Structure 1
Amino acid sequence: MQMSGNKVRKLEFLMAEAVAGGHDCVITAGGIQSNHARATAVAARYLGLEPHLILRTSRQAVDSDPGLVGNLLVERMAGATLHMITKEEYGKVGSPALLEQLRQQLVSEGRKPYVIPVGGSNSLGVWGYVQAIDEIATQSQQFGGITDIAMACGSGGTTAGLALGSYLSPLKARVHAYGVCDTPDYFYDYIDGLLEGLGVAPGGPLLGGADARSLLRAVQARGAGYAISTEEELRTAQAVSAATGVVLDPVYSGKAVHALLREINESPDEWRGRTVLFVHTGGLLGMYDKLDQLDPLLQAHGPPVRRMQVKLP
């Protein structure tokens, strides 16, 4: 569990570069319940590197101990140093500048830090999901192939790799990215930048003139906001879990599946006859941050908890 989620495929490439470069610590950033930050902290410790995490939280909580809920417990058990900032500071300064500030601080202390962007989503990290297409293409043959790939999109790297890999492979699956934070236009532009960093210029000959808008379909699935769950989204996650045993996290896959099912219900003809692979991006530990919302939902819609009548000898 400590290394679960979609970030692991990106970290395979990013951590290899950190080790090859002789770095002694890694820096990354994310929200207070960042799955990426948790996976990065654990991966770093596996490799003997010290993890430093920039985590954004509310102004009311930034000067207090963040506690041990969800991902925070694993991060702190792994000995990560947490650098707390407010959401407002994050918005004004931006993650690249914040990561650079911490990098400079650690360098001044004699360290050699390796910087990993939010979500591990740079051009190097994208290779993790270009490579994943080989596995998807091979495994999908067992049940007649797939026509579509859908996933939650938060930082863009997973989507970029799957879209590029699908386009360049015989798979040619249609890719649907359900954005849980920024706008579709933001993701199209950001993914074009990731592709350019890979040497695959959007609109260039390798892509046959295609760009991100041609390789994938970005859908707004943010709902009430990033990491803010509506009752309808949580109800969908609960219903899917009860029907299949697949638990959807509330921040990413839960929102994406909710939006996907809504689209299928609203436009069934567009999806009829298609075989959709949904890529679950992990995030189970984030459920623990939603207990106040989940408790009344499960009380109302889940099976009852019963006192078993035990027959004593």
Structure 2
Amino acid sequence: MGLPKKLTLAHLPTPIEKLERLSATLGKELYLKRDDFTGMELSGNKVRKLEFALQEALEQGAKVLITCGGLQSNHARATAVAARKLGLDCHLVLRGRPQGPDHGNLLLDQLLGCTFTFMEPEDFNDGHLQVMATLKAAYDEKGTPAYLLPMGASNAIGTFGYAAAYEEIRLQEDTLEAPFDTIVCAVGSGGTHAGLVLGNMLGGSRHRVVGVPIAEDSRLFRPIVTQLTTECLDRVAPGTPLPSEKISFLDGYGGRGYALNTPEEMTFIRRIARDEGVFLDPVYTGKAFRGLVTEIEENTGFFADSQRILFVHTGGLYGLFPKSPEFLF
């Protein structure tokens, strides 16, 4: 496919599993791409993006990684782990402030010895990029070159992670009885969705690729995914047009917003754990997979032409633990 050079951090390829009971109930074949199996510390989709981004960081001589996210950010934790594996330091700019004992991803960030800058939510939303730029300037000035990673590692170089994942899926399809017709993923910052769209285009557009926003909706994410995909196309296939129909979204499942949940979402996560022995996370996969299943159960027609559907399980297990009070047993 001619993608940029990358590191090897993840345990790949991750397996594809069929959800037998759910498939029988819904009358469609549902499969999971188990990207929650990319490695215990690095688990989830973020490491695929980091393999490309951190290759670039090392080439630029970085000694410290600066990135951002929520208090329980999977991306922040994965970046911190990758930094330590590469002998680098990590500075995290996080939305919110710890309340009580650290747990989940934040506990792991502490164990890894990260440096933290905590910001109030209302300040983070509009000011985190400037704070990160100021931190980078300070590190650079004292002779410690810093590399900036955006939220979710969702920039052009990180997007190649899921173009590579798409090719992995295509190779795995060869061992199955029939190919998938649809690939579905959660959309939190846009990079995973954009990478799958890119891979699908470069691979001949064999699949319908659907992104499910877990906060906001496609009005926010369509221009983001379009820009990321276009930037990558310009790098590996200059002049290739990006038809708007290649970027598909399923709206309506963002609930209360980023990392905020409804009782219905938590009940769904518990249902899938008990029916299939699979743990979804409350921020990304719980919302997105609920959207997929709900559309099929309610016969809305959104997936009427989809019979063999692959859902990308992007990880996030550690995000369950801080949410324990919200589960109703």
Q: Please say whether Structure 1 and Structure 2 have the same fold, judged by a TM-score greater than 0.5.
A: yes
**Is 1:10–2:44 an aligned residue pair?**
no
| Kept in 1: contact 2:183–2:310 (CA 8 A) | yes
2:88 aligned residue: 49
Q: Offset of 1:172 from its aligned partner? A: 1.7
State the Cα deviation string for residues 221-264 of structure 1 (Å, max 9, x = none).
Answer: 21111111111111111111111111000010001111111111
CA distance in 1, matches of 2:63, 2:289: 39
Q: Offset of 1:2 from its aligned partner? A: 1.2
2:177 aligned residue: 143
Matched residue of 1:96: which SS? helix
**Is 1:224–2:252 an aligned residue pair?**
no
1:113 aligned residue: 146
Following TM superposition, where does structure 1 have runs of at least 4 consecutive aligned residues deviating by more than 6 angstroms? none
**Gaps in structure 2 of 5+ consecutive residues:** 1-39
Aligned length: 286
**Is 1:253–2:285 an aligned residue pair?**
yes
| Kept in 2: contact 1:160–1:195 (CA 8 A) | yes
Partner letter of residue 73 of structure 1? L
- C-alpha change, 1:190 and 1:228, in structure 2 (3 Å) is same
CA distance in 2, matches of 1:44, 1:65: 26
Q: Which has the larger displacement, 136-145 or 117-126?
A: 136-145
Q: 2:307 aligns with which of 268, 274, 277?
A: 274
Matched residue of 1:229: which SS? coil
Q: Which has the larger displacement, 107-116 or 16-25?
A: 107-116
Q: 2:165 aligns with which of 109, 132, 135?
A: 132
Q: Offset of 1:218 from its aligned partner? A: 4.5
Q: Offset of 1:129 from its aligned partner? A: 0.5
| Kept in 1: contact 2:214–2:258 (CA 8 A) | yes
1:302 aligned residue: none
Matched residue of 2:206: which SS? coil
1:192 aligned residue: 226
**Is 1:92–2:100 an aligned residue pair?**
no
| Kept in 2: contact 1:50–1:80 (CA 8 A) | yes
Alignment of 1:235-254 (within 5 A): 235-254=267-286
CA distance in 1, matches of 2:89, 2:239: 42
Alignment of 1:168-179 (within 5 A): 168-170=202-204, 172-179=206-213
State the Cα deviation string for residues 26-65 of structure 1 (Å, max 9, x = none).
Answer: 00000000000000000000000001000111xxxx3x67
2:116 aligned residue: 82
Matched residue of 2:310: which SS? strand
Q: Offset of 1:176 from its aligned partner? A: 1.2
Q: Offset of 1:19 from its aligned partner? A: 1.1
CA distance in 2, matches of 1:120, 1:37: 9
Q: Which has the larger displacement, 161-170 or 128-137?
A: 161-170
Q: Offset of 1:96 from its aligned partner? A: 2.5
CA distance in 1, matches of 2:204, 2:311: 19
| Kept in 1: contact 2:226–2:247 (CA 8 A) | no
CA distance in 2, matches of 1:11, 1:26: 11
State the Cα deviation string for residues 154-192 of structure 1 (Å, max 9, x = none).
Answer: 000000000111122146211111101232021110112
Partner letter of residue 100 of structure 1? A
1:73 aligned residue: 107
State the Cα deviation string for residues 3-30 of structure 1 (Å, max 9, x = none).
Answer: 1000010000111111111111100000
| Kept in 2: contact 1:70–1:288 (CA 8 A) | yes
Aligned-pair Cα RMSD in Å: 1.9
CA distance in 2, matches of 1:75, 1:195: 31
**Is 1:23–2:55 an aligned residue pair?**
no
- Per the normalisation by structure 2, the TM-score is 0.82
**Gaps in structure 1 of 5+ consecutive residues:** 300-313
Q: Which has the larger displacement, 224-233 or 190-199?
A: 190-199
- C-alpha change, 1:111 and 1:67, in structure 2 (3 Å) is farther
Q: 1:215 aligns with which of 247, 252, 257?
A: 247
Q: Offset of 1:270 from its aligned partner? A: 4.7
Asked which structure has the greater RCO (Cα within 8 Å, sep 6+), the reply is 2
Q: Offset of 1:135 from its aligned partner? A: 1.0
Flag the structure with larger Rg. Answer: 1
Partner letter of residue 274 of structure 1? Q
Determine what percentage of the aligned residue pairs are the same residue: 38
